[in-house]
Chain A
């Protein structure tokens, strides 16, 4: 049984560009949450998608947006990349907005140069 799958694993982008990260949730899960983990820091909550809608959002600017598809997979989009957006982006899937716990993927390492 595959867990949470994220792609790509590593990515290098130039300041000002746009990036899309992808996440396939664990089988049976219907909720996807995204986190940003800067080097040496704890993960910071970006937003959560459930039933194809953004249900909760952390303290991140509108440059960060997302989408959830009918098959529960999700995308994280970041526009106008800044050097400070360099981080590990983690996807976590869960059932019923997380009532039964979260399963994390291994993340996408984004480097902005």
Chain B
């Protein structure tokens, strides 16, 4: 079935550093792709999405570009803050035309002052 693979964490950065979290997908066709974020003690929140190839999703300074050539959807931010410390999940819909997200294993981000 369709799936995503994320880089292992934790990713540890100093404040104002550049962030990249890698995500690659395996899918039939070109499904929508998503990044969700989970802050400590909370549920998941949709961070951004892209619905077709070459689309760029963006929110709160985070960006991700849907690249079909490399089947990737890497998450980037130019200058991270301590408040960005969280677990980030790449996701795509379940196979068969469903809207139900299937998640990667998550990448923990720790940002130090």
> Among A14-22, A72-80, A95-103, which stretch is in contact with chain B?
A95-103
A104 touches B44 (CB 8 A): yes
Q: Is B66 engaged at the interface, CB distance under 8 Å to the other chain?
A: no
Total contacts A-B at CB 8 Å:
45
Compute how far the CA of A4 lies from the CA of B42 in the bound complex, rounded to whole angstroms.
11
* Residue-wise interface mask of A (66-106) relative to B, using a CB-CB cutoff of 8 A (1 in contact, 0 not): 00000000000000000000000010101001110110111
Compute how far the CA of A98 lies from the CA of B101 in the bound complex, rounded to whole angstroms.
9
B43 touches A106 (CB 8 A): yes
Complex: chain B residue closest to A109, CB-CB: B41
* Residue-wise interface mask of B (39-60) relative to A, using a CB-CB cutoff of 8 A (1 in contact, 0 not): 0011111100000000000000
> Among B12-20, B69-77, B78-86, B92-100, which stretch is in contact with chain A?
B92-100
A43 touches B46 (CB 8 A): no
Majority SS at the chain A contact face: mixed
Majority SS at the chain B contact face: loop
Contacts A56-B94, A94-B99 hold; do A42 and B89 have CB atoms under 8 A apart? yes
B98 touches A102 (CB 8 A): no
B43 touches A107 (CB 8 A): yes
B94 touches A45 (CB 8 A): yes
Q: Is B22 engaged at the interface, CB distance under 8 Å to the other chain?
A: no
If A92-B43, A98-B99, A106-B43 are given as contacts, then 13 extra A-B residue pairs at C-beta distance below 8 Å, sorted by A number, are A4-B43, A41-B106, A42-B104, A42-B105, A42-B106, A90-B44, A92-B44, A94-B99, A101-B46, A102-B46, A105-B43, A106-B41, A107-B43
